[in-house]
Structure 1
């Protein structure tokens, strides 16, 4: 792919409205940034691990001190760090040295830099390095409220955040032909899609986001088909092998104060609409992975809400609720991002909470939804799993999502009789036992096996199921193990098999057991 293939064409007045519309400027900018070592490793190496981690937590002053100590060629990198990551003003002479290929006047005209007090320059954009296991990237976004005084603009383009990183890590990275990124923003999901997708369509309702996504693509030598429009409107009648979306899912009254967070749809209606329309745009066997928020009303299980979105879609689904927020915490989180003054924050927050109260919303669930369309000609009831997994280190990853779907298919296609004839192995697991002190010392009250790092990969066990799992070493069929256990405990083998099979199936579903090959 080449950068000049980007489909998005700027309007005649885009140079005034949107930054980095000149491709030659983007190319020169990328040359300067990379030649200075402005990469994830380069920044970490200059700052040091502790200072870099502190900066990620929002503690900026150690980075300022370190960058002012750098000299020589590392001085260029230090200037770039202060400009784009720390938001400082720099002397124009120093900035010019940091951009030997780019002209500072041109960078000002293209909205990358701005003059302050005539002789100093500051960055107008958040341009930062980002890396995954395969390569380094540069991502263009708007500066957040912590970098600039006053509230962010209505068409503010969010940069790399916790939600976008979570989605990027959760996406299944198997090679596909066509992929769709709904609500691309700065283009962070499309960047990762480019590593395993032949064609990428990325959409957004925010024209400024599309302009910055185009700059992100060009900086990284990529090409995406960028289209303006809401939801599936820009791709009407088209189907994809993979759909990803980190949409403006914030639950509210339906306003649209900030495009990056507010959908203009009441409540969680946008996420519902997105899920319901997925089947019409997925190829047979295609996958969609989205982040979503959903309302939780007093006395109603959260699963009811999300399962109603999936009803009638025919999609297999794995829904994971990662967090639950009370209304005050939820509203406070999103108000702090906007950078509004205290009176505006208090007014908007009070109105928001009143709306929650009027609609009997007691909490907001946050998590991920992974769905897969049935194969061509496949006729069956959809396989839907909804679960809460909140433990640290149990985040959904692409490899775990792919394995989860594969395990569910294996369970659907394998009868009990077939399962009893298979040789099973146990994954690397830990046995956890919980005991309470009693009159006769410690008394065990429960035990479970856990597959470390697996989302929800824990299974409660009793004496028999512990022995059964321990015996699954891929050497003898499951049925033979059941017969040995039945003989040892003096029980009927058929009755034990009937009791054990649900436990075995759950263990397979959680990746604790697998068929030996």
Structure 2
């Protein structure tokens, strides 16, 4: 019998969309899956440990040796087993919840196929004596677990990944709810966009999850768009007056997504957007297309360059773009200058965040493993050598990966390139919004304006004193003094005692920064002009990183008790200052 792992479903068949509709109506979503697997089973499924997940299922449903006394609904168990764990299930059980007509049409569309991992016929026939074949899905259908979709029930249909069985993705493989789109979702600001473009939408995770009045989603891969259209059947159309989500975004009713086929920005030529998101095929290689979802057909970082420059051209005034990207450099050029060269000289404010930088060997191993290539085989060894030789020929010694946040502005382009290598900060979109606000505030002010402003110290800032044993052998000596954010990006700045004293004296209803510094100079007999000249650039850095908050960027001037209350709200809302 043919191994079901080699079957490819026809996502363009209406049966797949009907299945998504049925699963949505039957309550197949994250909370129902958690009721069957628990948090540990959910986690282990996504991390590629199917045996542990199945063991949890048996415990939770009362079929294992350590079963709990509580029984979950059998329908939730069946749907989780069949469509989340992709376990073989008898046709009769599927018919009991989906109906015979839909099950038959799903078999015709190859969304369900006979299982080769189990006997073709179940041990017990149905009451009429007919065999009851075991069926297994050839698609993944998973809920989106995102800040933007806590209660929407968005389901994404795609080709199966390799988390539950050993499989090699086909060239036309369409990935689903994976790490990359979820990571990018965490980078997008929470407010509802007007007109949104999802460039290279794939299975539609971003297009179907992000709040917007109008959504245009493009992809060169028709099969990916078929999956996305089927997934759209899960999106609930709700009244525009529905409550805001925990992130503060207003999801409301939404129009159907405008799905468009075409290469890069061709389907949206001459159009402008309030927000652009893209998780493009940015794998850095020689331009060979082995897999449509990850290989762009462009050499090195050409895909990231094209998407970045194209997004800058298609933004409305004030609009923002949020992109995943990668950049390849040698010893003769910095990553910052490489990325800056992709942007126009005028009209863009860019915050580029490098999350990781690796050597060519690590990069090649990572992506060949993603393709399920065994690096120990002759073919795997040859592909490794070919890829590394290509990097060497082009002088590539390091590959950086991260996020590119762009905003359309008036005036010269500003580029800030930063490495943020702290552990995953979780939802980061509020920080992105605040960063653009802080940067705009700074760009409109000179040194005198910065000194004349009043500030609040962010409530999540900690002042750290680092002490080491004194060389004399007695006591400790201070070797570092730092201001560190304990939220979001965890920015940390080493400071000295005078700056620490000035920061401690700031209050949004108190003296300006310049007056506070002047008072410190008067008490300590320092030259005020010299002191404030050195202070101003340090204060700018503290504002840029959200350690100092300009009073006029707060909702209203507040006292310290109000700031403590704001801290509590920010801890819930991702640490953003509104």
| TM-score, shorter chain, exceeding 0.5 | yes
1:163 pairs with 2:180: yes
Alpha-carbon distance change, 59 to 145 in structure 1, aligned in 2, over 3 angstroms: closer
Which residue of 2 is the match for residue 384 of structure 1? 415
1:482 paired residue number: 517
Report what 2:502 is aligned to. 468
Quote the residue 1:432 is aligned against: 464
Cα distance in 2 for residues equivalent to 1:173 and 1:365: 27
Asked if the contact 1:314–1:373 (Cα under 8 Å) also holds between the matched residues in 2, the reply is yes
Is 1:202–2:217 an aligned residue pair? yes
CA distance in 2, matches of 1:185, 1:387: 29
> What's 2:291 paired with?
258
Matched, 1:372 2:372: no
| Distance in 2 between residues matched to 1:132 and 1:473, nearest whole Å | 36
1:359 to 391, 394, 415: 394
Q: Is the 8 A contact 2:24 2:234 kept in 1?
A: no
1:273-299 deviation digits (Å, cap 9, x = unpaired): 222222321111111110001102134
Contact 2:41–2:54 under 8 Å retained in 1: no
Q: How much has 1:27 moved relative to structure 2?
A: 5.8
Structure 1 position 54 matched with structure 2 position 59: no
Q: 2:235 aligns with which of 217, 220, 231?
A: 220
Q: CA deviation at 1:266?
A: 0.4
Q: Between 177-186 and 433-442, report the one with greater CA deviation.
A: 433-442
Structure 1 residues 354 and 67, CA gap change in structure 2 (3 angstroms): same
CA distance in 1, matches of 2:427, 2:541: 18
In the alignment, does 2:202 pair up with 1:185?
A: yes
Unaligned runs of 5+ in 1: 1-15
Deviation (angstroms), 1:168: 0.5
Q: Given the superposition, is the C-alpha separation of residues 255 and 365 from structure 1 closer, same or farther in structure 2, using an over 3 Å criterion?
A: same
**Counterpart contact for 1:31–1:101, Cα < 8 Å:** no
Q: Between 421-430 and 51-60, report the one with greater CA deviation.
A: 51-60
1:275/1:30 CA distance change after superposition, 3 Å: closer
Q: Which runs of 5+ in 2 are unaligned?
A: 1-6, 63-70, 122-132, 237-254, 552-556, 558-578
Q: Say if 1:396 and 1:455, in contact at 8 Å, map to a contact too.
A: no
Per the alignment, do residues 313 and 292 of structure 1 end up closer, same or farther by CA in structure 2, a change over 3 Å counting? farther
Counterparts in 2 of 1:271-310, with a 5 A limit? Answer: 271-310=304-343
1:120 and 2:170 matched: no
SS at match of 1:170: coil
CA contact (8 A) 1:29 1:101 kept: no
CA distance in 1, matches of 2:99, 2:431: 45
* Pair 1:74–1:158, CA change in 2 (3 A): same
Q: Secondary structure at the match of 1:402?
A: helix
| Distance in 1 of aligned mates of 2:541 and 2:43 | 39
Q: Secondary structure at the match of 2:175?
A: coil
* Shift, 1:227, TM fit: 0.8
Structure 1 SS opposite 2:291: coil
Name the CA distance, whole Å, in 2 between partners of 1:40 and 1:101: 26
1:51-82 C-alpha deviation (Å, 9 max, x unpaired)? 22222322221221233452777332222222
Deviation digits for residues 11-41 of structure 1 (CA, Å, limit 9, x no counterpart):
xxxxx99634355x45642354245442111
Q: 1:80 to 1:403 in 2, by over 3 A?
A: same
The yes-or-no answer on 1:131 pairing with 2:131 is no
Looking at structure 2, the residues matched to 103 and 317 of structure 1 have their Cα atoms a distance apart, in angstroms, of 49
1:429-484 per-position Cα deviation (integer Å, ceiling 9, x unaligned): 11122232222432212121111123252222100110111111222222221111
Distance 2:81 2:87 in 1: 6
Matched residues, number: 495
Partner residue of 2:10 out of 19, 24, 28: 19
Q: Residue 20 of structure 1 contacts residue 111 of structure 1 at CA under 8 Å; is this kept in 2?
A: no
Task: Determine if contact 2:282/2:295 at 8 Å carries over to the other structure.
Answer: yes
1:45 pairs with one of 15, 35, 51: 35
Structure 2 match to 1:86: 85
Quote the offset at 1:247 in angstroms: 0.2
Partner of 1:506: 541
Q: Is the 8 A contact 1:241 1:283 kept in 2?
A: yes
Aligned to 2:242: none
* Corresponding residue of 2:124: none
**Deviation of 1:265 (Å):** 0.3
Distance 2:523 2:195 in 1: 55
Conserved 8 A contact 1:155-1:259: yes
- Pick which of 387-396 and 444-453 moved more: 387-396
